[in-house]
Structure 1
């Protein structure tokens, strides 16, 4: 195994020998995980029964990942670096598991997978096996923050981890298949948002091995100069390492890595000690190796290494094909397991000790288990920001405008620790959160011009880029490494990150079952510029369906809040910023709206999550003839307006108004931790009275949440029905029949037997709807009685 060096090479003979030996061991362990369930060190000839009946996993990218890992370990030890390893090719799972096993961190977490023959057998058997571990990088993998299914997010996660971590270097391997995704393509622009004085550094390593499952990869098939120009255009200075001969590749990669780390140290020193914060051209490495490097060269006369056939399992049938069985044994023995491992199964000391110690091991980095580093936010008392509400409906305010003042001071309170950031795809000001700019700049480290917003700042804590993918990726990396944040977005466009939400929710679900994974701060969404106030932008901007998507996830992970006014929004946000291990979705409007609850009443209402608004109800004696439920700010206003109409024209009609802030309260307590018991639910909604429910989103969701309830057949839900256009705010409600007049008519029709007065009221409401249509198409604004309506003082109840 001894290999030579040239005088100018960065690795001496001993270093080269050690690196190569470690790489061989990692490759052997990786291949063994895919294939073997017995005979882990080939102490006897390989037989079919030693091989797993189902071969699952991905070999193609793994040798390259192991190669990089070995060299990063050398750099960590030589420079005493604090480093994380983020990989985009998530199906390189066997490589990262092998590395953490060699470093000893795997056995520290999973003692039954130790450095002995039983542990080695367990390491191989458990991989992609029932009752074992997944075939890709997963929460179960020590050192990971990027799950194997998250194709396209690795680079954004890496930058999120580096923000506010000045001592951290994040090595991020980008697969050439992953590099074809839109999410990854925009992430390269993160170079314009890094502050070399305050942040850590990301070292991207673009791994070109040429193929996806079956077809070539784009970046591997363009000329080198074209690729160099592309990467330079993103703000990087690439160094190319190309080949397949081990000695030359080790020397070349070690040289490139040393140069990159020298550059990073120089850039950071210049910014931190010499006060030159200009954006440098950050280094990166382009590593081109054959697909399935070091694997079986051919199968049945067809090329394997360096082709798409190496992507997954290069020898798919060794259990039934004697020729493949022979090839597999030859392949595994080519790594020399007899010299890499002791008879008892442990790696030889030269391998076992060839890694950093303690938390310097990438598989034991506390940054990859962010809950270890998490500290509670310093939060001001949200009550101090409350809107004064002398009586319901008398005050008008922008809910998100008020929230912006609270978030401004959250930023101020946590500026020294550098533990809180806001993320928004160029929508912060549009979403009325502009007050935060009094506390921080808008992060920007590219060219500035005289007419630019003065708030641009290299150390800004407001992260804005017109890529929902990148913003969420940054935030996820930030949270997963122990910090806090909030992502504000137009409601209709948050769907762009549906799959990112999926993966993060799945990550949280799994980590809750892993005691060694410590809780992290919740992923908090603020969805504003929502469906009911997108009348000016039209149908394309009108979609409340993200809530439905969220509700498909495990009940212990997701929460959805629909605060009806500014004070409830303050209370909900304070709660969400304090929470851990959830995905919290808050939907709140930005336009000036009537305010209904003072700050103390809002806090009480949010704590309950659901409740009767007694001041809007008149059923204290005798119970209700009908219940009007509402969830969301505009639905709440329309329900209250409908109550006003009905009580004015039909004063004997007894109505109960129920407002829902926490949408999960509608569920059965057996389905969700926040769910109401049947007794509690029936006490609110009754068991036999009609319930007219105005809901922010698609109506079917309320039926889904309440279908087990005794009174479900009496639930009649109004919500968004895919009717929208560029029109007036109230006309949006009319188009979807969530407006006050349709709600009032529905109450009359459902209660029945109300006499002639109800008949005349019903006709009046229908006539008003006809008049509304003529008015808005003539004048371009809503009827005066709609625009000027407010909850009347005579309707208030103590």
Structure 2
């Protein structure tokens, strides 16, 4: 690792410049306090009275002074250096600070013209904060310049790196709260600097803000010895710069020096890599900022210390309307910032405190990188026919669906090689998931040591692998939010690790849909493979299809779930989701050899419908309703349903059987509950209102019941799926153990078609005998029955 020689820092600010920075900081602090407490009298033009105070005091003061300090000093260096910059604000509930600075720099008024930059607008800014019909107490989608929801504790640094990838001119500052620094996702994301390419990527400047406390407890990194913290951060690969204190002008002086030193260090590292051809990994700077929690707030309340303690975390002065002493303290606190020096008689910020604020798009609240849809370009997707497999008749050939998709992704990676706006992320599973064709277009990003035995490592690669699902998710979210495209490939069972992260991203997308100024971004696309039905070799620990349930609990206008049954359908689904905007798309597809059911044209049409009758698989003659419906969703369920349909043809030739395949799971919902949902007449036409429906489903069967419980035919719906029974066994034994196998499905048809049980007793017994033979066979031979292993669709 290379310690880049740091040039002499830029000129230290003069005392006059420091006083101007301090004025800006005081103004931001004043505005932050005002948002938490005031609903009237914003400039304190009259003595503070109870009616000026909000009836419910909601917000977080403790982190705000530190965030205001960072914002003020970022303004200075952006203006002085003409930096292209973005900041990710990690500490939870830092909304008052970032909103205050957005209002000061003018971007808030430009975004929301009714919140003018004067006394009336200041009052509106104050009143709306944590108020019904207003804005949240944290940095949220409504906040100009934000790409990170405050309170997503642990994700800030991975978001920052995602924003920096393939953005060579961008400096991404990331403020990390010392509470979130204790989380697992944050701890893993420090390793992102081993993937940052100093040639093609931007830079990330972490600022670890140690104010000592979480909600009610001290924080680990604030309490360990400084040399131990230095060793930790150096071990992560950073050059550590400290800023410590509580005397404002000295802290301003030290912070200015630290920012200049860090940015000079970054510039030198990039120059060495881009101009001098240096390939050794730089030791990137990190700033450790230590200031008191609730700095400049009340030192003591009701005889108890507040500033510099956990009591400053939220609202230091409670019940201000009812407690005259607290009201007096609040007024003294607000007046300590000397608002008459900061704002003119009309409430406008005085020009001298705005001297540090950048112009135009250089302002942190106006950067287009925080509104990625402004920068987004269409993804150059190739014609699917180039990769589709030929299907002369259903079930005659087999392919590995994800391997076929890998060829398409290679083309996309190649087509975006000069643009560098597409990345594939995943936890060490690209080749395992059969997507390794992409390595022909781009290797795996890697800045650490390489050995001669390594394969596909590439200093400039755009395939991202790290064995941390949290970090992969954070990278991709940051990448998408800043206007690029990507795909997250993961083993199905382990994607649950990012349940909380995807929750927040879905909420972000839902809110942005109601903000006209937020432009649509590329969808967050998951490819879940190595799935439950073909984890027979890894066993129970690798078997869990429940991420679908988690996703379909979320905002219906945002989430989509697809279960393509073969390679061509996977291509059609992938083409759709990679073109889509503002969704979270989940695709579940197998990587093992799978029967090819549909031609490319049929696959496109089937995906457009989302669910449809496979007439070639059923035994309907068009003259009457079917006696039963065999439905399926997922590749293995589809195979078992078709094998069951074949058995019905052979053993129950007089039965009218309909086969329905569902590729878009949301189609089962009513149309008023989801944009892809079916009307009742559509659903009844497909599944019938009163015939037995035996549904073989990829995941937990209860989900299908939940989606369809309002339908007329729901009492006749019987679902087979994963019942949390797994082990290391043969592929077919997995479906037998969970009663999803073809023999069980035929038995279900016999049991549920009225009057059939008495006529088909021998057939049912033969199906039961086949299950018994299966159990004996695998225990003796270790492989599936030949009639299963060698099965093909014969029509």
Matching residue of 2:210: 208
Q: How does 1:156-235 map to 2 (within 5 A)?
A: 156-235=158-237
For the Cα contact (< 8 Å) 1:211–1:291, is it kept in 2? yes
Post-superposition CA distance 1:552-609 (Å, at most 9, x none) = 1111100000000000000000000000000000000100111111111111111111
For the Cα contact (< 8 Å) 1:90–1:146, is it kept in 2? no
Q: Find the residue that maps to 1:191 and give its secondary structure.
A: helix
Q: Find the residue that maps to 1:188 and give its secondary structure.
A: helix
Post-superposition CA distance 1:642-684 (Å, at most 9, x none) = 0111111111111100000011111111111111111111111
Against the structure 1 CA distance between its residues 758 and 8, is the aligned structure 2 distance closer, same or farther, given a 3 Å change threshold?
A: closer
Distance across 2 between alignment mates of 1:490 and 1:767: 35
Distance across 1 between alignment mates of 2:239 and 2:316: 35
Q: How does 1:41-190 map to 2 (within 5 A)?
A: 41-190=43-192
Matching residue of 2:4: none
Alpha-carbon offset, residue 317 of structure 1: 2.2
Matching residue of 2:299: 297
Q: Runs of 4+ in structure 1 displaced over 3 angstroms?
A: 754-757
Q: How does 1:229-628 map to 2 (within 5 A)?
A: 229-453=231-455, 455-619=456-620, 620-628=622-630
For the Cα contact (< 8 Å) 1:383–1:600, is it kept in 2? no
For the Cα contact (< 8 Å) 2:640–2:740, is it kept in 1? yes
Distance across 2 between alignment mates of 1:397 and 1:9: 64
Distance across 1 between alignment mates of 2:540 and 2:521: 37
Matching residue of 2:738: 736
Distance across 2 between alignment mates of 1:332 and 1:323: 14
Does residue 1:764 correspond to 2:766, yes or no? yes
Post-superposition CA distance 1:315-373 (Å, at most 9, x none) = 11221111111111111000001111011111112224431111000011100000011
Distance across 2 between alignment mates of 1:102 and 1:277: 42
Matching residue of 2:16: 14
Match for residue 635 of structure 2 among 624, 633, 636 = 633
Alpha-carbon offset, residue 693 of structure 1: 0.3
Matching residue of 1:649: 651
Number of residue-to-residue matches in the alignment: 786
Alpha-carbon offset, residue 774 of structure 1: 1.1
Against the structure 1 CA distance between its residues 352 and 11, is the aligned structure 2 distance closer, same or farther, given a 3 Å change threshold?
A: closer
For the Cα contact (< 8 Å) 2:619–2:656, is it kept in 1? yes
Question: TM-score, normalization: structure 2?
Answer: 0.98
Distance across 1 between alignment mates of 2:704 and 2:38: 50
Distance across 2 between alignment mates of 1:309 and 1:777: 65
Q: Find the residue that maps to 1:639 and give its secondary structure.
A: helix
Q: Find the residue that maps to 2:756 and give its secondary structure.
A: coil
Q: 5+ residue gaps in structure 1?
A: 1-6
Distance across 2 between alignment mates of 1:35 and 1:389: 68
Distance across 1 between alignment mates of 2:269 and 2:11: 25
Alpha-carbon offset, residue 757 of structure 1: 5.8
Matching residue of 2:6: none
Distance across 1 between alignment mates of 2:538 and 2:698: 18
For the Cα contact (< 8 Å) 1:102–1:351, is it kept in 2? no
Distance across 2 between alignment mates of 1:39 and 1:757: 85
Distance across 1 between alignment mates of 2:376 and 2:669: 32
Q: 5+ residue gaps in structure 2?
A: 1-8
Distance across 2 between alignment mates of 1:700 and 1:614: 27
Q: Find the residue that maps to 1:362 and give its secondary structure.
A: coil
Post-superposition CA distance 1:435-475 (Å, at most 9, x none) = 1111100111000111111x100111100000000000000
Distance across 1 between alignment mates of 2:355 and 2:640: 69
Q: Find the residue that maps to 2:240 and give its secondary structure.
A: strand
Distance across 1 between alignment mates of 2:204 and 2:504: 22
Post-superposition CA distance 1:720-770 (Å, at most 9, x none) = 111111111111101110110100000011114237662111001101111
Q: Find the residue that maps to 1:169 and give its secondary structure.
A: strand
Matching residue of 1:4: none
For the Cα contact (< 8 Å) 2:751–2:757, is it kept in 1? no
Distance across 2 between alignment mates of 1:204 and 1:238: 10
Q: Find the residue that maps to 1:91 and give its secondary structure.
A: coil
For the Cα contact (< 8 Å) 2:108–2:115, is it kept in 1? yes
Distance across 2 between alignment mates of 1:626 and 1:573: 32
Distance across 2 between alignment mates of 1:324 and 1:650: 83
RMSD (Å), alpha carbons: 1.1
Against the structure 1 CA distance between its residues 376 and 9, is the aligned structure 2 distance closer, same or farther, given a 3 Å change threshold?
A: closer
734-743 or 748-757: bigger deviation:
748-757
For the Cα contact (< 8 Å) 1:441–1:460, is it kept in 2? yes
Distance across 1 between alignment mates of 2:85 and 2:281: 22
274-283 or 458-467: bigger deviation:
274-283
Alpha-carbon offset, residue 623 of structure 1: 2.4
Distance across 1 between alignment mates of 2:725 and 2:707: 23
Distance across 2 between alignment mates of 1:92 and 1:608: 45
